[in-house]
Chains A and B, each alone.
Chain A
Amino acid sequence: MTPKPLPSLITVIDIGTQKTVALVGQVIDGKARMLGFSERRTDGVVKGTVTDLDKLHAGVHEVINDLERVSQRPVHYVYLSIAGPAVDGERVKGFIPVPAHDGKVTKQDLDEAIRSAKRVEPPAGRLIMLYMRQPTLLDGKQVANPVGLQGRRLEVNFWRTTMEEGNVRFRVSMMNAMSVNVSEFILASHASGCAVVSESEKQGGVLVIDVGAGTTDWILYFKGHILCAGSIPVGGEHLTNDLSVALRISRETAEDLKIRFASALHRESDLNQTIWKDGDKSVGDQQFNRGTITQVSSLRYQEIIDFVRKDVLRHFEQIFPGHSVKLDQAFLPSGVVLTGGTANLQDAADGAQLVFGVTSRVGIPSFETDALRKPEYSGVIGMMVAAIQDAPPVLRRPKSLWDNVKELFRL
């Protein structure tokens, strides 16, 4: 598979539950120079599920207008992120016995194994979005490139991401309605991973958790490959919700208090602190106990992280049937990396460490602009990184999918 020449202009759009963020960059020598950035509130998405098409459409249109205005260039192609409960993933494998003439694996053998892996039918009503390369095994041993090596049985593995057909159809037609083509879908959690962890961390083993507003997407890298990925429909909005229920305050006030006072950990000393909603001695200001806030927020946050832990273990049962693989420091030498808007929560890393029992840190994307060096932008920056790489482990979208999409829209 030869990488096709990259278009010099790359536009990536990350549609989140709360915000739609987009970047347009010019690629020179494999590096992107940022030409434009846009961020707008997303309307019409609840917990990662689209509930109001018109509102969402209008919002994305605004973002594209922003990009065209700022970059002074028309947007024709975009990379779209996919995340949330509509996205699902599974491992598919293909294996062939190596023909016995000289016992050496040829390029044709490898291609045949890959073909057999990709022949696995997706579940009904779902489209295959991406294949991500997982370890290739020759006689059960992991090899980087099996071609030319001796062996009897060749096994190739892919992490395959599928999405509900209607969801894909909707996204493509929404962009097409703005005269914009979707050049590729990028798995949001993988994008975040590209932005906040290094290749060496991926080699060792690392779990990236992107806690967004409406959904929490996670991805686990092991020996440099994607081992598995998933999503749960809980996020920062649930922290806001819990605070608004517990303190009987509006959503806006709850959001504000969450940003200023909430924490992933609840400490006894928090109970001694009294905080003011506005703090400017204005009439109608309200007083709250900080302990209540941290208690509510830490319970929810740690539960979200625990949902992720359980989800990862559920995937392990599928990948390593019969083995009880522990999520410990030995398995994850680089620990847990938290990113996404909710990673801004005070003590977010410590809270995750408490749940997982492995070293945790908050991942901040490396980027030239200070304003974007925040966990909430790791998704969109990572999409740019992934779009430039556009090579394994994210393979080009297989032709079969494109044919499927073509068929869908009768292009």
Chain B
Amino acid sequence: MSSTASILLVGLGGAGCSMVARLAPSLPPQVRAVFLDSDLNALPNSVTGEYLQLGRSLTRGMGTGGESALGLAAVESEEPALRRLFTGVPIVVLVTGLGGGLGSGAAPALATIATEAGSTVLAFATIPFSHEGERRKRLASDALEKLSAKAHGLVVVQNDLLSLQVSADASLAEAFAAADDWVAGALRALASIFEAGALVPVDPAALRSILAQPGSPTLFTSGKAQGPQAALLAAKAATESALAHGPDVITKVASLFVHVAGGPSLSATDAFEAVNIIRAKFGGETTTIVGARIKPELGDGVEVAVIGASAPAPKAPKTRKTAKAGDPNQALFGFATEESLRRGIFGSAPFTFVDGVDIDVPTYIRRSIRLSPPK
């Protein structure tokens, strides 16, 4: 084990391993890749890295068959080895596809072990496509809830959302490949942050400081652009990325970590302009940590990566579900605000201003006329 590695990139389960495998050849020396799977045959054999087979005695070298209980048991059986693996590693990036047996069952347990070993855990989890069925979706959402409580940072990647980026008639295989590519690209951006030779170096501890508390909602997005004004365009691409527009993705965070990489022509002004765009979109009022580096191979291109987090919101008390989740006929209720009460039946209609006054508000209210009491 190389002691210089400050980041451990862990691929868990079939989906996680295949994503990490894509990255493994291009990883900087500070990042070490580890593959965890129960199915020995599914482990990619072309890439170098450390392998750990989970639950050998339970699955006899096969998959978990989508049983999350089996996935959990597989991790528990290897706990001592895992604990050794995580000890002394400041940051663990856990990449997994939720919805399968190992990912859903083992990811929360793995995050717990890593946290207990003193690592900061940033989890990357993909949510299955909706066409993969209701069961996988449910497994994924259950696992997500557990994982978010254990990991310091959790980046959720909705495969459905990513599939919107590929053409409508793309095959299933293409859709999966596109989703994997996307996550791999995001992870590459994350890994490159810690490469040596940065213009503005970034200490892995900075990332730890942002992801200080487990359960904090996490934002991760990245963008690339080429040509003139590449820094601006890359920042825009990051703000508009599918990663930043999921249904549960937070868009305002207290702490922000922005990394800008560009070719030799990247100027400081451009880099800070990009940071300003990111800040305008996502906040970062408490802390904004900026990293920058020159990568000659980028030419006139610029890459922007953003990680953000807020302190965890107080947990809402669990409410009884009155309507079946996902029922398309379920009505949406909003709380009546003073404004919507004043506008009455025009509550949600577009405002109409005449001489700067919203004329949908009743005349007597606007003129503050007290309605006469009955005689």
A residues whose Cβ falls under 8 Å from a Cβ of B: 46-47, 49, 51, 85, 232-234, 237-238, 240-242, 244-246, 251, 271-272, 274, 289, 291-292, 295-296, 299-300, 303, 307
B349 to chain A, nearest CB (A): 5
Residues of chain A lying within 8 A (CB to CB) of residue B343: 241
Q: Is the CB of B372 within 8 A of A49?
A: no
The verdict on A240 contacting B345 (CB below 8 Å), with A246-B364, A300-B363 known, is yes
Q: Is the CB of A234 within 8 A of B359?
A: yes
Q: Is the CB of A251 within 8 A of B372?
A: no
Q: Is the CB of A245 within 8 A of B363?
A: no
What is the predominant secondary structure among interface residues of chain A facing chain B?
Answer: helix
Q: Is the CB of B352 within 8 A of A233?
A: yes
29 contacts between A and B (CB under 8 A): A46-B346, A46-B350, A47-B346, A85-B352, A232-B354, A233-B359, A234-B352, A237-B346, A240-B345, A241-B344, A241-B345, A241-B362, A242-B344, A242-B364, A244-B345, A246-B362, A246-B364, A251-B344, A271-B374, A272-B374, A289-B374, A291-B375, A292-B371, A292-B372, A295-B372, A296-B364, A300-B364, A303-B363, A307-B359
Residue B170 at the chain A interface, CB threshold 8 Å: no
Q: Is the CB of B375 within 8 A of A238?
A: no
Residue B315 at the chain A interface, CB threshold 8 Å: no
Residue B69 at the chain A interface, CB threshold 8 Å: no
Residue B369 at the chain A interface, CB threshold 8 Å: yes
A246 to B371, alpha carbons, bound, how many Å?
9
A274 to B375, alpha carbons, bound, how many Å?
10
A271 to B371, alpha carbons, bound, how many Å?
11
Q: Is the CB of A299 within 8 A of B375?
A: no
The verdict on A242 contacting B375 (CB below 8 Å), with A47-B349, A234-B352, A251-B345 known, is no
| Interface residue from B354, B359, B362 paired with A296 (Cβ < 8 Å) | B362
Residue B367 at the chain A interface, CB threshold 8 Å: yes
A385 to B354, alpha carbons, bound, how many Å?
33
The verdict on A49 contacting B362 (CB below 8 Å), with A237-B345, A296-B371 known, is no
Residues of chain B lying within 8 A (CB to CB) of residue A46: 346, 349-350
Residues of chain B lying within 8 A (CB to CB) of residue A233: 352, 359
Residue B22 at the chain A interface, CB threshold 8 Å: no
Residue among B359, B363, B367 with the most chain A CB within 10 A?
B363
Residue B342 at the chain A interface, CB threshold 8 Å: yes
What per-residue 1/0 map shows which CB atoms of B67-79 lie under 8 Å from chain A?
0000000000000
What per-residue 1/0 map shows which CB atoms of B353-372 lie under 8 Å from chain A?
01000011011110101011
Residue among A46, A232, A241 with the most chain B CB within 10 A?
A241
Residues of chain A lying within 8 A (CB to CB) of residue B375: 271-272, 291
The verdict on A241 contacting B363 (CB below 8 Å), with A233-B352, A292-B372 known, is no
Residue B341 at the chain A interface, CB threshold 8 Å: yes
Residues of chain B lying within 8 A (CB to CB) of residue A300: 362-364
Residues of chain A lying within 8 A (CB to CB) of residue B352: 47, 85, 233-234
Residue of B nearest to A251 (CB): B345
Residue of A nearest to B370 (CB): A295
Residues of chain B lying within 8 A (CB to CB) of residue A85: 352
Residues of chain A lying within 8 A (CB to CB) of residue B364: 242, 246, 295-296, 299-300
The verdict on A274 contacting B341 (CB below 8 Å), with A234-B359, A246-B364, A303-B363 known, is no
| Interface residue from A47, A245, A292 paired with B341 (Cβ < 8 Å) | A245
Q: Is the CB of A299 within 8 A of B344?
A: no
Residues of chain B lying within 8 A (CB to CB) of residue A244: 344-345
B246 to chain A, nearest CB (A): 27
A307 to B345, alpha carbons, bound, how many Å?
21
A238 to B369, alpha carbons, bound, how many Å?
17
A47 to B354, alpha carbons, bound, how many Å?
14
What per-residue 1/0 map shows which CB atoms of B318-353 lie under 8 Å from chain A?
000000000000000000000001111110011010
Residues of chain B lying within 8 A (CB to CB) of residue A237: 345-346
18 more A-B residue pairs beyond the given contacts A242-B364, A271-B375, with a C-beta to C-beta distance below 8 A: A47-B346, A47-B352, A51-B349, A85-B352, A233-B352, A234-B352, A240-B345, A241-B344, A241-B345, A246-B364, A271-B372, A271-B374, A291-B374, A295-B372, A296-B362, A299-B363, A303-B363, A307-B359
A232 to B359, alpha carbons, bound, how many Å?
11
Q: Is the CB of A238 within 8 A of B367?
A: no
A392 to B362, alpha carbons, bound, how many Å?
41
The verdict on A245 contacting B354 (CB below 8 Å), with A289-B374, A291-B374, A300-B363 known, is no
Residue among A49, A51, A245, A307 with the most chain B CB within 10 A?
A245
B344 to chain A, nearest CB (A): 4
Residue of B nearest to A303 (CB): B363
Residues of chain B lying within 8 A (CB to CB) of residue A272: 374-375
B295 to chain A, nearest CB (A): 44
A237 to B363, alpha carbons, bound, how many Å?
13
B367 to chain A, nearest CB (A): 7
A242 to B352, alpha carbons, bound, how many Å?
15
Residues of chain A lying within 8 A (CB to CB) of residue B360: 238, 241
Residue among B349, B364, B365, B367 with the most chain A CB within 10 A?
B364
A97 to chain B, nearest CB (A): 42
Residue of A nearest to B367 (CB): A299
Q: Is the CB of B354 within 8 A of A307?
A: yes
Residue of B nearest to A307 (CB): B354
B360 to chain A, nearest CB (A): 7
A87 to chain B, nearest CB (A): 15
A256 to chain B, nearest CB (A): 14
Residue of B nearest to A233 (CB): B352
